[in-house]
Amino acid sequence: MKLIDARGSGEPRGVSLMFQIAIERILASGTGAVSQPVVYPAGFDQNVTSGAQNVVDVVGLGLGDCPGQKYFLFGYSQGATVVLEALVRMDEASAAAVAGVVMVGNPYRVPGRRSNVDREGRPDARAAYGLFAAQALRANRTVPTYSDELDRSGKVSDICLDNDIVCATDPECTCQLASDHMSYGLMQPVQDLIVSHVLDRM
């Protein structure tokens, strides 16, 4: 199986720090998994076009060489947008090969989805939208998201911390963006949740 992860804005090339511990644990679990970070700028201009296409190409070309391969997609912050855009672009065969999706700090998170969970994997029933989702709705723009079918499948885990105002806007929150939005990689419950989400779907 292949673990494809998309880092957040400003992170150095390679595996996102928000997934590094979990991915290292999965690679060491004897599953034969390999890791492949998404190639894209991850700049603050939020241009995810090349990243989304990179994901589509990796899965599509990979299926040509190994039709039975499973893919797991990971996205942090801007990387979550990369994953969402890639899922929209995939053909039916590629989408079927995606065995699991994990997003953390998703700025396009929308309420009311089965896949919305907290740091412990419990259902997150907050009515808050992600920062960019809220902006898109105000501007009458389309909000990129995954299909209802994928949401019902149990393949997606869209994790948002209580005080992360990027994935759950709250005008009354005095939260600090840096400390809340950048904490996923440091929290063992989150890393445990990511590992179990993948291993349970191998």
Burial class (CB in 10 A: 0-12, 13-18, 19+), 12: exposed
CA angle 102, 35, 113 (to 5 degrees): 10
* Superfamily per CATH, domain 2-199: Alpha/Beta hydrolase fold, catalytic domain (3.40.50.1820)
Tell me: pLDDT of 176 over 80.
no
Return the pLDDT at 45: 87
Alpha carbon distance 167, 106 (integer Å): 5
The 10s digit of each residue's pLDDT in 40-98 is 999 988 899 999 999 999 999 999 999 999 999 999 999 999 999 999 999 999 999 99
% of the chain surpassing 70 pLDDT:
97
Alpha carbon distance 22, 79 (integer Å): 16
172 pLDDT tier (thresholds 50, 70, 90): confident
Average pLDDT, rounded, for the chain: 95
Query: What is the rounded average pLDDT of the residues 139-160?
Result: 97
Task: Answer with the residue of higher pLDDT: 150 or 202.
Answer: 150
Tell me: pLDDT of 177 over 70.
no
Alpha carbon distance 14, 122 (integer Å): 29
Tell me the two tokens of residue 159. 């994790």
Tell me: pLDDT of 163 over 90.
no
Per-domain residue ranges of the chain: 2-199
The 10s digit of each residue's pLDDT in 11-56 is 999 999 999 999 999 999 999 999 999 999 999 888 999 999 999 9
